[in-house]
Amino acid sequence: MAYSDYQELIAVARENFIAGKYSTAEPLLTQLLLTNAREPEIYQMLATIFYDQGKFNKAIKTFKRALEIDPNYTDASIGLSIILNDLGRYDEGKTIFVEAQDLLSKKKSKMDPFVQDKIAKKHLELASLYFQYFDYKEAIDQYYKALALSTKKEDIVIKIAESQVKLDHADKAIKELKKYISEYPQAIGARLKLGIIYYNANRIIEATEQWEQILARDPNHKEAKSFITMAEKAGVTELGV
């Protein structure tokens, strides 16, 4: 299919890229490159496609080309930082990501939700890495940054609580979970975790209350039933957090 002009070709390529139709978008983007295009978006989309295909070196080169054209093009920075992190080049990826985040924070307009999700994902990746290497304070810092951007807040709050417990700050973990539950009483995962932390602090009645609250909302919740049964048995002293 022939396209009447350059802008129409970009629009069609973008539409297919957003729809995930990479096999259609790729030749259109390649055609645009033949015109000596200097829009960083074209290189960013093409680099993302290369990354999806497992062509990591080609993706890195193309992301960097987008940044050569516009060093402030944050979509390319974020994409590049993610692929470097996947390749184990953590320090390099983190540096690029932090620079991109700083640029985004300086923008007065509201951040695009899609960009917010990508940044939150990156913070979670870094938090998991810190947690894996027992640097719980840094993990918590990254979890809080993800919490400010992500829509999946309950999972992150639970991760923060788990990290606080690792630092022997059960009181802070409890405070974090209680605050979230006060805002979202239906948060079953947070209640389950709060009950476990209470139990391990020998606050059995408070632990049982949390699990009973879960059963009041979901009478067939297996974990809540199991924990209540365990709490009633002699000799059970600690549950895994």
Round to whole Å and give the CA distance between 26 and 45: 9
Say what the pLDDT of residue 105 is. 62
Q: Tokens at residue 185, please?
A: 């009483």
pLDDT at 234: 43
Which tokens in the block code for residue 33? 């490159």
What's the confidence (pLDDT) of residue 104?
Answer: 63
Provide the pLDDT for residue 117: 78
* pTM: predicted TM-score of the whole model, two decimal places: 0.56
Place of tokens 């391990």: 200
**Helices 74-86 and 56-69, axial angle in degrees (round to 10):** 150
Q: Averaged in consecutive runs of 10 residues, what is the pLDDT profile of the chain (241 residues)? A: 67 88 92 85 93 92 90 84 85 79 59 74 88 92 90 94 97 95 93 96 93 94 93 58 54
Q: How many CB atoms lie within 10 A of CB 14?
A: 16
Mark 41-78 as b/e (b = at least 16 C-beta within 10 Å). Answer: bbbbbbbbbbbeeeeeeebbebbebbbebbeebbbbbb
Of 116, 215, 198, 127, the C-alpha closest to 163 is 127
Domains of the chain, with CATH numbers? Answer: 160-241 (1.25.40.10)
* Nearest-angstrom CA–CA distance, 155 and 182: 16
